[in-house]
């Protein structure tokens, strides 16, 4: 058994398991819950001692998780947040009150539970994500969090996090992604996302295509779960772009928070784009359906939490000689939304940069920033595409009349 004395040791240990995220090709049959249940059982089932909100979706789930976390923290709660992947450091995946755990905390906690992990490993093949998920649940129990906001890793039905019985489920926007695992049509993917719905647990559903909503509604009915449609419960009016880093909108809703009306209240966001407004409406709807005695969220905490939200890499603007936008899109619909946001915020000029395993349809969206350069980069991610392959597809789209 490898000793875990330093943070570098901890990372080496975590990545010594099967890593479907970075290296191993994904297949439809790699997902199941048996191993994570065995691992959690060896740890005393920490996930059963957490009050959780479980968030699935193709797009927007990370931003929605960040909003929920920020508001719950503003209300005076201690909050554990589990997300993936990370941007700069693995520690970002496990946050306490919106800040990544320290190297020392990650190292010591992982060292403590290593014997239980190894006992399970002796009998079955574990993945990095399974170990990371069990670690997160154990960490949050040890830290005594009031709430744990948990983001689904991939899909929902068979995702490693789907051992939870949460207080509330949330499903953000659904579109086609990870088709090799989840299916190649919206109905199939929506069914996988809806797999997080638990009997009798309410589910907040963001604005969806009719096809996706139909599938999710059927799943909720089968589980006897109340479906809370954001499209019916909350709308944004008078949206204004205040700067490349800030927007605001007015709530049109009958929702109440701590028995106080929210209709007509102005929401400020430091996340840009109409899609972020939709994510905010989803988070607000979810927060309004938590027990206020448990969440302690009132309108003041809502506004303060949304005002304070920071989520790096989501239309993050860096001002140098020219403004540089840091963002990412991992399917055609995400790229389309990114392009529209670039055109709205910087209508005079825009340069699009593509890297990684971008699909051809994503590069087409990028190329539709008419008359502007397309810069192609090779990502350091192990599964990224070579620049030559990206350039060939980009050139083909440039030639299309």
Question: Quick one: pLDDT band at residue 400, thresholds 50, 70, 90?
Answer: very low
Q: 397 exposed, middle or buried (CB, 10 Å; 0-12, 13-18, 19+)?
A: middle
pLDDT exceeds 90 at position 181: no
The pLDDT assigned to 354 comes to 55
% of the chain at pLDDT higher than 90: 68
What are the structure tokens assigned to 247, written together? 């927007």
328 or 344: which leads in pLDDT: 344
pLDDT at residue number 56? 98
- pLDDT tier at 313 (50, 70, 90 boundaries)? confident
Q: With 80 as the cut, is the pLDDT of residue 342 above it?
A: yes
Question: Does the pLDDT of residue 376 top 60, yes or no?
Answer: yes
The answer to whether 385 and 358 are in contact (CB under 8 A) is: yes
CB 190 within 8 A of CB 220: no
Contact 80, 96 (CB under 8 A): yes
pLDDT tier at 307, thresholds 50, 70, 90: very high
Where exactly are the structural domains of the chain? 7-308, 316-399
Comparing 152-161, 295-304, 306-315, 357-366, which segment has the lowest mean pLDDT?
A: 357-366
Class of domain 7-308: alpha beta
What's the confidence (pLDDT) of residue 330? 66
Whether the model pTM is above 0.75: yes
16-61 pLDDT, tens digit per residue, is 998 877 655 555 555 689 999 999 999 999 999 999 999 999 999 9
Please report the pLDDT score of residue 377 as a whole number. Answer: 77
Percent helix / strand / coil, the chain, rounded to 5: 45, 20, 40
Using a pLDDT cut of 70, give the percent of the chain over it.
84
pLDDT mean across residues, the chain: 88
Query: What mean pLDDT is predicted for residues 313-317?
Result: 81
Give yes or no for residue 333 having a pLDDT over 90. no
Q: Which helix (H) or strand (E) holds 326?
A: strand 323-326
Residues constituting the chain: 401
Burial of 142 (0-12, 13-18, 19+ CB in 10 A): middle
Q: At what angle do helices 299-308 and 274-288 cross, to 10 degrees?
A: 150
**Would you state the pLDDT for residue 355?**
54
pLDDT beyond 80 at 5: yes
Angle subtended by helix axes 186-193 and 210-223, to nearest 10? 30
What count of other Cβ atoms lies within 10 Å of the Cβ of residue 292?
A: 15
Give φ, ψ of 358 to 5 degrees: -70, 140
Q: Are strands 246-253 and 234-243 parallel, antiparallel or unpaired?
A: antiparallel
Alpha helices in 289-345 (DSSP H): 292-295, 299-308, 332-345
Segment 263-280 shows an average pLDDT of 95
Task: Check whether 321 has a pLDDT greater than 50.
Answer: yes
Tell which residue, 326, 33, 295, has the closest CA to residue 162: 33
Q: What's the pLDDT at 364?
A: 56
**Is residue 262 pLDDT above 80, yes or no?**
yes
State which H helix or E strand residue 55 sits in.
Answer: strand 52-56
Distance CA 101, CA 237 (A): 38
Residue 89 is predicted with a pLDDT of 96
pLDDT in tens, 73-125: 999 999 999 999 998 999 999 999 999 999 999 999 999 999 999 999 999 99
> In this model, does residue 357 exceed pLDDT 90?
no
Phi-psi region of 252 (alpha: psi -120 to 50; beta: other; left: phi over 0): beta
The arithmetic mean of pLDDT across residues 137-150, rounded, is 98
Residue 300 in this model has a pLDDT that exceeds 60: yes
**How far is residue 129's CA from residue 340's CA, in Å, rounded to a whole number?**
33
Whole-number pLDDT of residue 2: 81
Q: Give the architecture (CATH level 2) of 316-399.
A: Alpha-Beta Complex (3.90)
**Average of per-residue pLDDT across 289-298:** 97
Of residues 384 and 39, more confidently modeled: 39
């Amino acid at each position: 058994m490898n000793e875990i004395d330093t943070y570098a040791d901890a990372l080496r240990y975590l990545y010594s398991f099967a890593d479907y995220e970075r290296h191993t090709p994904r297949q439809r049959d790699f997902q199941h819950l048996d191993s994570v249940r065995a691992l959690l059982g060896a740890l005393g089932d920490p996930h059963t001692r957490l009050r959780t909100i479980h968030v699935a979706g193709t797009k927007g789930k990370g931003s929605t998780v960040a909003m929920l976390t920020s508001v719950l923290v503003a209300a005076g709660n201690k909050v554990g947040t589990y997300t993936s992947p990370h941007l700069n450091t693995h520690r970002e995946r496990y946050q306490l009150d919106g800040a990544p755990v320290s190297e020392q905390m990650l190292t010591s906690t992982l060292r403590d539970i290593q014997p239980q992990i190894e006992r399970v490993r002796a009998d079955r093949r574990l993945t990095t994500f399974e170990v990371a998920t069990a670690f997160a649940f154990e960490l949050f129990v040890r830290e005594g969090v009031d709430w744990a906001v948990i983001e689904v890793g991939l899909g929902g039905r068979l995702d490693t996090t789907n051992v939870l019985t949460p207080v509330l489920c949330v499903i953000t926007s659904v579109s086609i992604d990870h088709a090799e695992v989840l299916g190649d049509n919206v109905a199939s993917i929506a069914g996988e996302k809806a797999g997080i719905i638990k009997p009798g647990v309410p589910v907040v559903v963001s604005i969806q295509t009719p096809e996706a909503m139909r599938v999710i509604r059927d799943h909720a009915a089968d589980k006897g779960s109340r479906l809370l449609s954001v499209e019916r419960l909350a709308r944004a009016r008078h949206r204004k772009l205040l700067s490349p880093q800030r927007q605001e909108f007015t709530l049109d809703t009958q929702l109440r928070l701590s028995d106080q009306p929210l209709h007509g209240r102005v929401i400020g966001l430091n996340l840009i784009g109409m899609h972020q407004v939709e994510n905010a409406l989803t988070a607000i709807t979810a927060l309004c359906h938590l027990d206020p005695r448990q969440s302690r969220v009132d309108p003041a905490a809502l506004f303060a939490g949304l005002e304070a939200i920071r989520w790096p890499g989501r239309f993050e603007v860096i001002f140098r000689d020219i403004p540089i936008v840091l963002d990412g899109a991992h399917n055609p619909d995400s790229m389309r939304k990114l392009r529209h946001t670039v055109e709205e915020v910087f209508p005079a000029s825009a340069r699009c940069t593509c890297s990684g395993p971008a699909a051809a349809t994503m590069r087409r969206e990028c190329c539709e920033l008419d008359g502007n350069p397309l810069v192609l980069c090779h990502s350091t991610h192990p599964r990224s595409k070579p620049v030559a392959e990206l350039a060939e597809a980009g050139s083909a789209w440039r030639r299309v009349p």
